[in-house]
């Protein structure tokens, strides 16, 4: 897809795209929407996501767990954060307790996961679903020397 062609499909000026690629322009949101629609990609593909998740020093940071924040939903009653997890084999990560009421929901897609409250962690393989109240210290670990891939949904009441 050339610059000229994208300009036609997105109905934006070539000058605009040229400026964006060279970092000499700061696009408006409407412009980004038009480009994202023309490229069939989500907005997040165009906006380098530098915003920090609400759980700053939380479960999903560190060497054992690689996380990618996918989406955040803000409701009157709660905030939802959706993560893609990749858990490095061998290592184990301990997370401190979150505020009361926070729940975590993990769906395992590959590998053997051990996760949950530190005192009584749960184990799950592909297709399994585990959740727990995360107001106590909890762990993430990959078992069997195999990388674990999973989806994590954190619900934080407010």
Partner DNA sequence: CACGACCGTTCCGAAAACGGAACGATGACA
Partner DNA sequence: TGTCATCGTTCCGTTTTCGGAACGGTCGTG
Cβ-Cβ contacts under 8 Å for 90 (sequence gap 6 or more): 142, 145
Q: How far is CA 120 from CA 95, 107, 117, 125, 133, in A?
A: 14, 18, 5, 17, 12
Q: Which token pair is 15?
A: 């000058």
Given a contact cutoff of 8 angstroms between Cβ atoms, the answer to whether 111 and 147 are in contact is yes
Does residue 18 touch DNA according to CB under 7 A? yes
Does residue 41 touch its own copies according to CB under 8 A? yes
Does residue 28 touch DNA according to CB under 7 A? yes
Residue closer to DNA by CB (options 20, 148) is 20
Given a contact cutoff of 8 angstroms between Cβ atoms, the answer to whether 128 and 91 are in contact is no
Residue closer to DNA by CB (options 38, 78) is 38
Residue closer to its own copies by CB (options 27, 62) is 27
Q: Cα-atom radius of gyration of the chain, to the nearest Å?
A: 20
Does residue 125 touch its own copies according to CB under 8 A? no
Does residue 131 touch its own copies according to CB under 8 A? yes
Does residue 68 touch its own copies according to CB under 8 A? yes
Kindly tell me the sign of the dihedral angle through the C-alpha atoms of 36, 42, 43, 45: negative
Does residue 134 touch DNA according to CB under 7 A? no
Q: How far apart are CA 106 and CA 148, in angstroms?
A: 11
Does residue 21 touch DNA according to CB under 7 A? yes
Give the nearest distance from C-beta 21 to its own copies in angstroms: 14
Residues that bind its own copies (CB under 8 A): 26-30, 32-33, 36-37, 39-45, 47-54, 56, 68-78, 80, 82, 84, 86, 105, 107, 109-110, 116, 120, 122, 126-127, 129-131, 149-151, 153, 155
């Amino acid at each position: 897809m050339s610059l000229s062609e994208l300009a036609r499909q997105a109905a934006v000026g070539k000058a605009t795209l040229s400026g964006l690629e060279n970092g000499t322009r700061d696009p408006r949101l409407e412009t980004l929407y038009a480009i994202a629609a023309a490229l069939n990609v989500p907005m997040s593909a165009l906006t380098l996501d530098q915003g920090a998740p609400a759980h700053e020093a939380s479960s999903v940071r560190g060497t054992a767990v690689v996380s990618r924040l996918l989406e955040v939903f803000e409701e009157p009653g709660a905030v939802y954060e959706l993560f893609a997890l990749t858990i490095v084999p061998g290592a184990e990560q301990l997370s401190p307790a979150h505020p009361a009421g926070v729940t975590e929901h993990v769906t395992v897609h590959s590998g053997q996961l051990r996760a949950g409250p530190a005192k009584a962690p749960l184990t799950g393989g592909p297709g399994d679903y585990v959740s727990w109240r995360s107001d106590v210290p909890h762990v993430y670990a990959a078992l069997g020397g195999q990388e674990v891939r999973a989806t994590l949904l954190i619900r934080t009441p407010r």
